[in-house]
Amino acid sequence: MSNVIKNTLIVLLFGIYSSSLWAKNFRVEVMVFHQNPSTSETFPQSSSELSWPNIIQQDFRENISLQKAYYSLVAKNAYQPVWYKSWVQSFAPRRTSDAMPITKRQGNDDLLNGFIRVQRGHYVQLLIDLEYSPDGLNVESPVIYRINEKRRVKLNEIHYFDHPRFGVIATIRPL
């Protein structure tokens, strides 16, 4: 009888310990911002190179944990927030989520276009594929800047993805 109680306690303790990693729902919060570079680096991309996966329905929520960073960027002239949203996303272990579309239009131009996915395996990974065109695509020689990155992330921490012309700040929290 004591072995049954002991095994039950071990299973319960393991479940409590690992619950944050294997939670079904996550809050993903993302901020994209423009930055004025001090570089003369050139970027040859002038047309979209996105390869769209399955898209989930957009259901954005109130932004929570990155608001301090948002207001800090607004106060500085070198950075300009372009897009800031959060959403709750569910997906199974050992799977990659459907993509959350990230778009921002300015007039008839796509200023920001792309998607973000979360992959759960042994680690949690954030997959970002974003294109940013600060001048729009209807100019004579459009320039598109791209971040296409897959990175291991820790839950409840803030992560920064960098490009000379724009950046992404993201956090993922289990619910």
Task: Give the pLDDT confidence of 79-91 residue by residue, as tens digits.
Answer: 788 888 888 888 7
pLDDT score, position 159 = 93
Quote the percentage of the chain above a pLDDT of 70: 64
More confident residue, 61 or 34: 34
Give φ, ψ of 83 to 5 degrees. Answer: -150, 135
Helix (H, G, I), strand (E, B) or coil at 64: coil
pLDDT score, position 162 = 87
Q: Tokens at residue 83, please? A: 């897009």
Give φ, ψ of 7 to 5 degrees. Answer: -65, -40
Give φ, ψ of 8 to 5 degrees. Answer: -65, -45
Residues 101 and 55: their CA atoms lie apart, in Å, by 7
Give φ, ψ of 65 to 5 degrees. Answer: -80, -20
pTM for this predicted structure? 0.73
Residues 110 and 8: their CA atoms lie apart, in Å, by 55
Mean pLDDT of 26-53: 75
More confident residue, 170 or 52: 170
pLDDT score, position 19 = 47
Mean pLDDT of 97-106: 86
Please give the biggest Cα pair distance in the chain: 79
Task: Give the pLDDT confidence of 63-73 residue by residue, as tens digits.
Answer: 677 777 767 76
Residues 131 and 146: their CA atoms lie apart, in Å, by 4
Residues 87 and 31: their CA atoms lie apart, in Å, by 12
59, 104 Cβ separation under 8 angstroms: no
Give φ, ψ of 23 to 5 degrees. Answer: -60, 150
More confident residue, 127 or 92: 127
pLDDT score, position 63 = 63
101, 58 Cβ separation under 8 angstroms: yes
pLDDT score, position 17 = 46
